[in-house]
Amino acid sequence: MELEKSIVHILDCEHNTYIASSKCMQEMNEDILSMIEKKANKAFASTKKKAAHFKEGSIAKSWIENYTASRISFEEISEKLAKHIFDLKMQYGVYEGSDLIIASVMQEGRRYLLILDNGYQSGLTHDLHQEEAVYNELISYRTLLSSNLTSKDRAALIECSDLSIHCVENKIEIEAQKVNFLAELVLQCTTKPSYQEAVKTMSKTLEEVSEKYDIQEVNLMPKMKSIIADTVDRQAPIDVEEIAEILFAEKPLIKKDFTQEVKDKGIEEKVDVEYVKPRRSERVQKIKTDNGIEIIIPVDYMNSKDYVEFVTQSDGTISIQLKNITNITSK
């Protein structure tokens, strides 16, 4: 990723204070540059990233169109967005202070407008006093920024050539409803489920279908995880119907039921996974037996009898055989 330019605005909503910058940050040291790049990369690769598109009449869309057409400058678009975010926070009672970073970044030959609304973190620092004697005190500092993408942060990536959007944020409650503040109120766009939401929905549905039709979930969950992991590695969209076809190729009734249940829960289209990096837990299967034994196995091994095999004994108990092991270590 290449950071071309960036600008920072202060949105101190707690004290109703808005301080805009009229020009970009001039000289960024390595720590500052690293922080912005790290957060930007986290936004690109987040499993919570949601694809979105502007609604008709979005004021933010019109500003960004003017920016991409060079009718307004980078500084002007950043200030318009900053004031818009500040006003909406004050309107809806989102009294959280933040530093808003707007940046132009290049990723694999494509230019993005990056919006990073950085929520403040609290921490301790020291203060030096020189009176009759020199002494130090620890003081609380409430406007620190994290180098990671935290739960208080909001991020949006807007592709300048086609205005496609990806947002990363946690929902907040406004007027008794849970909303995506940045996506729904600021940018005025509709969102699709994230990779994380899609995987969670499919996993829950697989559990329900397995129970309904009395089939072994332990035989299906690793297979689904492996299919999803391979899909992400290929950077191909997740297609629920394709996954159902592989899982239930010889069981059309269960396949139809699984697909419909997932769609009914909101995963109606293919899920975009561009740049997404799944967590390690999504590439392994955790097994827990009724006598308290826990085993963690990579999903690719779970799908091969050369490494793992589940054997149902004549008395109905299940044995787990781990094969082709050359060394065992204790952790």
Does a structural domain hold residue 264? yes
DSSP string, 187-249: S-EEE---HHHHHHHHHHHHHHHHHHTT--HHHHHHHHHHHHHHHHHTTPPB-HHHHHHHHTT
Taking the alpha carbons of 290, 291, 296, 297 in that order, is the dihedral positive or negative? Answer: negative
Q: Which of 303 and 165 is assigned the larger pLDDT? A: 165
The pLDDT mean for the chain works out to 91
Same domain assignment for residues 46 and 157: yes
Residue 218 above 90 pLDDT?
no
pLDDT at 280 (0 to 100) = 78
Residue 222 lies in a domain: yes
Indicate the residue among 191, 208, 233 that finishes a domain. Answer: 191
Residues 126 and 271 in one domain: no
Least confident of 65-74, 207-216, 247-256, 299-308: 299-308
Nearest to 9 by CA among 152, 149, 115: 115
Give every CB contact of residue 103 below 8 A, 6+ residues apart in sequence: 3, 4, 5, 6, 7, 36, 40, 113, 114, 116
Tell whether 331 is covered by a domain. no
Residues 93 and 126 grouped into a single domain: yes
Clarify whether residues 131 and 213 are in a common domain.
no
Round to whole Å and give the CA distance between 24 and 9: 10
Write down which residue in 172, 191, 210 finishes a domain.
191
Same domain, 124 and 221: no
Residue 329 lies in a domain: no
Asked whether residue 328 is assigned to any structural domain, the reply reads no
| Predicted confidence (pLDDT) per residue in 100-118, tens digit | 999 999 999 999 999 999 9
Q: Indicate if 16 and 61 belong to the same structural domain.
A: yes
219 inside domain: yes
Query: Residue 9 above 80 pLDDT?
Result: yes
pLDDT number for residue 5: 94
The parent domain of residue 79 ranges over 2-191
Whether residue 224 sits in one domain with residue 163: no
For tokens 């849970």, what's the residue?
A: 178
269, pLDDT greater than 90: no
The torsion region of residue 175 among left (phi > 0), alpha (psi -120 to 50) and beta comes to: left
pLDDT of residue 162: 96
Assess if residue 297 is contained within a domain.
yes
Confidence of residue 85 (pLDDT cuts 50, 70, 90): very high
> How does residue 178 score in pLDDT terms, banded at 50, 70 and 90?
very high
Question: What is the greatest pairwise CA distance in the chain?
Answer: 86
In a domain, 59, yes or no: yes
Domain boundary residue among 191, 222, 239?
191
Q: Tell me: do 95 and 181 sit in the same domain.
A: yes
pTM (2 decimals)?
0.85
Helix then strand then coil, % of the chain, to nearest 5: 35, 30, 35
Structural domain count, the chain: 2
Local confidence band at 301 (pLDDT 50, 70, 90 cut-offs): confident
Statement to judge: residues 157 and 269 lie in one domain: no
